[in-house]
Amino acid sequence: MKTLKIEELSKNFGSTEVLKKINLEIDEGNFLVLLGPSGCGKSTLLNIIAGLETINEGDVFIDDYNVSKVEPKDRNIAMVFQSYALYPSMNVKENMIFGLKQAKTSKEKIQEQLEKVSKFLQVDQLLERKPSQLSGGQRQRVAIGRALVREPRIFLFDEPLSNLDAKLRVEMRREIKKLHQQLKTTVVYVTHDQTEAMSLGTNIAIMNHGVIQQNDTPEKIYNKPSNTFVADFIGSPSMNLIKGVLKENSGDLLFTVSGSNLEIPIKDYDFKDKSNLNNKEVFFGIRPEHIFFKKFNESDFEINLRADLSEYIGHEQIMTFDYANQEVLAKFPSTIKIDLGKETKLYFDLTQASLFNAQTEERI
């Protein structure tokens, strides 16, 4: 049984296709993050799961039950919104129990739930206050509390941290993580912030233009991106994608860029399909953090590149190198001194490299 299953879901607003044949599954207790740039359809997908948007095609199942035409209140879900959406005219207590009252829960049960959740979230001192008298973090907590008291099957979070300042955001992120560890409720969480996605999710579904690009664990998303969009979207700075050709030379495979004598040997790479690799146009992908200034691993590949630019950002520096007229970025500790305009010895960790088909932009 899947807690949440989405089958062949399509949605359009007028002639704009927002979601195209989405398929998605979540197991009990998992934390799924929908990640993508703005306008990719992630919030629409969440609203559809909540029942706040209608579906054009496909179905949504909660606990194997088709809820596509079920009212939001009957789906056994709770949602936390970006703007908190606390009812301005009600105090904290009234906000938290509004849903239970609508569901005609008994007074004793309401009181019990309220006490339990408000203690748990440390808002029991604030029950009589109006939302306007709360700080951002407190509002966020009350909003989560309002979702918690209903003991839903699935929690839906719609960018819950983007209205907070940077410091509070990190704190609240940890609290949400703790919350999930303690409650083990299934969560669907929408964000455009990759750090949030990586640190919170047990699974991340990366979306672009209404299509799920990759749905995997954070480790797989980071290490084995399934296409150039994912490779480019995750990581800061994002993965270097060097355009070139694969050449087979007496059994060995090499990555070359035309008009340059730079060659990178491709050994032990886990190809999906080993045929027709010779002369294939590819992107060679390597993350800035997998380029070193000295040899760390025996297998690191040594290469000489000209340093063009240095960006100092405190604990580290981002260097831009020239690779056959293509830019390659590397991340070093800021204590390393590298002269600009000179050839520098660098070491690529080839075990972390990715190869993509230059036409389809898919991982090969």
Partner 1 sequence: MQDSLKSSSYKQLEQKSKYTNMFLRWFLYFILILFASYFIFPLYVMVVTSLKTMEEIRQGTLLSWPSGLNLESWAVAWGGRGYGAGDTFLRPYFWNSIKMVLPAVFFSTFIGAMTGYVLTKWRFKGDQWVFLFLLFGCFIPFQAILLPMARTLGVLGISNSVIGLVLVHTVYGIPFTTLFFRNYYISVPTELVKAARIDGAGFFKIFFKILLPISAPIIVVTVIWQFTQIWNDFLFGSTFSFGEAAPIQVALNNMVLSSTSVKEYNVDMASAIIAGIPTLIVYVLAGKYFIRGLTSGAVKG
Give the residues lining the site for partner 1 (CB under 8 A).
47, 50-52, 72-73, 77-79, 81-90, 98-99, 102-103, 131-132, 139, 146, 158
Rounded least distance, CB 166 to partner 1, Å: 21
How many Cα atoms sit within 13 Å of 19 on the Cβ side?
29
Residues 6+ apart with CB under 8 A from 187: 30, 31, 32, 154, 155, 156, 157, 180
Rounded least distance, CB 101 to partner 1, Å: 9
What's the Cα-to-Cα distance from 298 to each of 25, 229, 348, 350, rounded to whole Å? 41, 31, 11, 11
Tell me if residue 151 falls in helix, strand or coil: coil
Looking at the Cβ atoms of 46 and 230, the one nearer to partner 1 is 46
Nearest to 86 by CA among 34, 45, 144: 144
Rounded least distance, CB 364 to partner 1, Å: 43
Looking at the Cβ atoms of 82 and 199, the one nearer to partner 1 is 82
Q: Is 192:159 a contact under the CB 8 Å cutoff?
A: yes
Please, what is the end-to-end C-alpha distance for the chain in angstroms?
33
| Cα 3 from chain centroid (whole Å) | 20
Looking at the Cβ atoms of 42 and 363, the one nearer to partner 1 is 42
Looking at the Cβ atoms of 83 and 351, the one nearer to partner 1 is 83
Rounded least distance, CB 195 to partner 1, Å: 24
Looking at the Cβ atoms of 77 and 239, the one nearer to partner 1 is 77
Looking at the Cβ atoms of 191 and 354, the one nearer to partner 1 is 191
Looking at the Cβ atoms of 82 and 326, the one nearer to partner 1 is 82
Rounded least distance, CB 142 to partner 1, Å: 10
Nearest to 228 by CA among 291, 271, 285, 287: 285
Nearest to 27 by CA among 174, 240, 178, 187: 187
Rounded least distance, CB 158 to partner 1, Å: 8
Rounded least distance, CB 211 to partner 1, Å: 25
Q: Is 190:49 a contact under the CB 8 Å cutoff?
A: no
- DSSP code of 300? P
